[in-house]
Structures are given as structure tokens and as C-alpha cells.
Structure 1
Amino acid sequence: MPQIFHRSMNTFSKVTIFGGLLLCVAIAFAWDQFNRSAYVTEADVVRDQPIPFSHDHHVSGLGIDCRYCHTTVETSASAGVPATEVCMSCHSQIWKDSPMLAPVRESFRTGQPIEWTRVHDVPDFVYFNHSIHVAKGIGCESCHGRVDRMPLMRRAHTLQMGWCLDCHRQPEKFIRDPSKIYQFGSVAETSPDEVTQLMHSFKIDAHQLLDCGTCHR
């Protein structure tokens, strides 16, 4: 039987098949990197706010405890955004005529809440509760990063499922003494012996943390 295709087509076929497979792998890798990029996750991207509030100044500079502004972090699913009255408890005396704080004074005068741009948010199909994380020894720094070094607030992490699972798989890497929940940096480090005791006292079951129903209800 006469040969229909030239012998070079054998090589062409192999190159096409393996090239196609490599292209699929490259596309999958590129898509994964795109989904992890700041463009999608908004990690390390500073969001515009009506007032350039500095956690660096208030937390690191003035030593204000997180709970002074985020009043429901220990009792509710939401940490809470401070009411204008909380801001004015200081700024009725300090920087009370600053042009930068004009929106705060206007909000206080009219009773209209300041419309802050939310920085940390998870999809509606994800259940997250601040109070249980705090009660189980997870500090603010674990999720929000070094906010004491942030002149303007930004996400320190992707908030994607893989990032959450990293903690749920090995909670011992993040747990700390309750007295250090609101501390940042090296002062919040917890020794291995303390971690073992805390895991036992908090009754933390890593297997239960990996159950789908823990976050998707």
C-alpha cells in the first residue's frame, strides 16, 4: 500500500500531542498564579477610605488596644467597625479642627455613619466567626498581619480557601496564649510546651477543623 503521509508527520504528530499537553499545563499554571495574584485577591493592595486611618499610628504609636475600636470581636461573628462616637471620644479634644477629620465631625453632627471600604471580606458561602477564633487562641496578627505597621489598611493574606486550610491543618503553628491575642510581633510568640497545653485546654481537634461543615454551612 502506498504511503499517504510523509514520514515527517510522525514527528509532527508527537510534537503536536506533547506540545498540546505542555500548553494545557502552562495554561493551568498561569490560571492558578492569576487567581493567587493581588489583582484577584487584593492582598497587599491599599483600599481607598473616606479617612486615611492609620493603624500604625493608633496601635503602634499610641498603644490603643484592638478592642477599643473593634468592640464585638470577642462576642460576635463580626469584629465591628467603630462608631463615630468612638472616634470622637478622642478627636473632640485631639486634632479637633483637622481638615482631614472633617468627615468624622460631619458624621458625628448628622448621625450618618462613615462609609468605610471593607478590606477583609469572605464570600457569602463561607462562615467565619471572629469570637471563636479569639476564644481558641488565634491572634489578630495571624489573619490581619502586622497592622501595627500599616499606615493604611490592607490585606496581609489572600483569604483564599487554601490559606484558611493551612491554619486548620496545623493550628498549633498559630495558637497563642489568650493574654497575647492582641499583641504583635515577637512578644506574641508562644513556646512549644505552651502550645501543647493550650491545644488541650481549648479542646482543639484538627480533624474537626477540616470538616467541610466547619466553614460551609
Structure 2
Amino acid sequence: MTEPSHSPLFGPRANSKLRWLLATGAFIAVAGATTWFVLPRSDWNTGIGNPPEQPVQFSHQHHVDQLGIDCRYCHSSVESSPTAGLPATEVCMTCHSQLFTDSPMLEPVRRSWLNDEPIVWKRVHNLADYVYFNHAAHVNKGVSCVQCHGRVDRMPAVSKAHSLHMRWCLECHEHPGPRLRPPEETYDLAAAIQPVSENTSRELLKTYRVQTRGLTDCATCHH
């Protein structure tokens, strides 16, 4: 008696092949979802904690924490302009024409000064062209530098502390009160990191006249 012939589609190993295909499909789906949702938000992709190599090894920890230099000394336009501004070489040389004048590390600063050519710093934070951020609008309403930039006073080399993704920004715009600080703490990074009470939060919203309505509208950040 001859054995019954099997269909090429439903052979003896059909179940095994189906299970293999289902497992492969599930793996591809999970890997795709991970790549699409997780990888773009990972520290590796956003650059969090990964300082770019700068033309001069400038230490915020040394200048801000150890020497007590105010943020506004170097970032002089932060209270009046959308951009915080970078210090001209002249600002660096107000100190370094007298201090560490022979330091090899400061050779790019001296060369910039002698040649009248600006130092080309590498950006740490680089928002997309369709995102509008105004530094003056934030710091003049009591949003401390530390909220976005982290404890730069503890960074020998500055790196991103937060992703600055839209969801991260919206968390602040939805509940701005707890992020506000009195004027004397706006540039005091150690003080500004401390939580404020609910009553203080409400008072600061009134003091700065922060209008919470409209803060999450698209046009607020996408002009």
C-alpha cells in the first residue's frame, strides 16, 4: 500500500516552519519597535553625558564652582536675547593676559587673540530649526540654568544633561510652578536644584506673572 502524498504547503514540518516564522516575525517587530521608539531617546543617540571635544579644555567646574564666576560673566546676553551668547576671546583674556600666560592648554586662546579670529566652539545643545527657544524669556521668569543644563558647575567638560525632546519640555510647560526660582537663585545652581513648596510655587507664578494658558500651544515653540 502506497503512503499518501503530502501537500508541499502542509508537509510534515509545516508546524515547525510556522512556529519559526512566527518567532522571527515577533523578533523583527520587537526589534523594530525598539529601534523606532527607544533608540532615538537613548543617551547614546541624544549625547547625554557625552561631552564633545572642544578647541579649549574649558572647565565649568573650575570657573563656576571653584572660582565662583557668575554664568552671566561669559554668557552676557542670556537675560536680553534669545541666545545666551558665547564669550569673545577678549573676555577670556581679561583674566588670562595675567594668569597662566604660558599654559599650553591656553595656546588656542592666545592665538585667537593675536590673530583676531574667534574660537570655534562645538555646540553641546543643538535644537532643530523648527524649534524656537528664548533664553531671556525663561531666565527672566525664574527658570534657572540648571533646569535645562544640569549642574554645569560640576562638569569639567560640559555635556547634555537632558534630551530636550518635546515631551521633556512639555512637562515643564504643563507644570511650570515647581521649576521657578526667586531671582537670587536663578544663577545659583546648587540652590536652584532644591525643590520648592506648593505655596512658594504659586507665589512665584504670581510674582513672574506666568500665564500658564497657552504654554502648551504649538505656536509657543514652533513659530
| Same topology, TM > 0.5 | yes
Mapping 1:193-208, distance limit 5 Å: 193-208=199-214
C-alpha displacement at 1:175, in angstroms? Answer: 1.1
Match of 1:29 among 22, 27, 34: 34
> For 1:208, what is the secondary structure of its paired residue?
coil
RMSD: 2.3
Partner of 1:64: 69
- The number of equivalent residue pairs is 215
| SS of corresponding position for 1:209 | coil
Change in Cα spacing, 1:99 to 1:183, as seen in structure 2 (3 Å) is same
- More divergent stretch after superposition (20-29 vs 40-49): 20-29
Considering fraction of residues, name the structure with more helix: 1
SS of the residue corresponding to residue 39 of structure 2 reads helix
Residue 26 of structure 1 deviates from its aligned partner by 4.5
The match for 1:44 is 49
Of residues 138, 142, 149 in structure 1, which corresponds to 2:143? 138
Give the partner amino acid of 1:109: L
Q: What amino acid is the match of 2:96? A: H
- Most deviating of 107-116 and 184-193: 184-193
Write the deviation string for residues 65-119 of structure 1: whole angstroms up to 9, x where unpaired: 0000000000000000000000000011111111110111111111100011111
Q: TM-score normalised to the size of structure 2?
A: 0.86
TM-score normalised by the chain length of structure 1: 0.88
The question of whether the paired residues in 1 share the 8 Å contact of 2:82 and 2:136 is answered with yes
Following the alignment from structure 2 to structure 1, what is the Cα–Cα distance between the partners of residues 16 and 46?
A: 43
Structure 1, unaligned runs of 5 or more: none
1:58 maps to a residue whose letter is H
Aligned to 2:113: 108
User: 1:211 is matched with which residue?
Assistant: 217
Mind listing any 5+ residue stretches in structure 2 that lack a counterpart? 1-6
Which segment is superposed worse, 113-122 or 204-213? 204-213
Q: Match for residue 121 of structure 1?
A: 126
Matching residue of 1:162: 167
Percent sequence identity over aligned pairs: 46
| CA-to-aligned-CA distance 1:94-145 (integer Å, 9 cap, x gap) | 1111111011111111110001111111011100100000011100000000
SS in 1 for 2:129: coil
CA contact (8 A) 2:75 2:87 kept: yes
Q: The residue matched to 1:117 in structure 2 has which SS?
A: coil
Check whether the contact 1:180–1:188 (CA below 8 A) recurs between aligned residues: no
Please name the residue that 1:84 is paired with: 89
The secondary structure found in structure 1 opposite 2:214 is: helix
| Matched-pair contact (CA < 8 Å) for 1:143–1:157 | yes
Matched residues in 2 for 1:8 and 1:118: separation?
Answer: 58
Residue 40 of structure 1 aligns to a residue whose secondary structure is: helix
Distance change in 2, residues 1:16/1:85 (3 Å): same
Q: Which amino acid aligns with 2:199?
A: D
Q: Per the alignment, in what secondary structure is the counterpart of residue 29 of structure 1?
A: helix
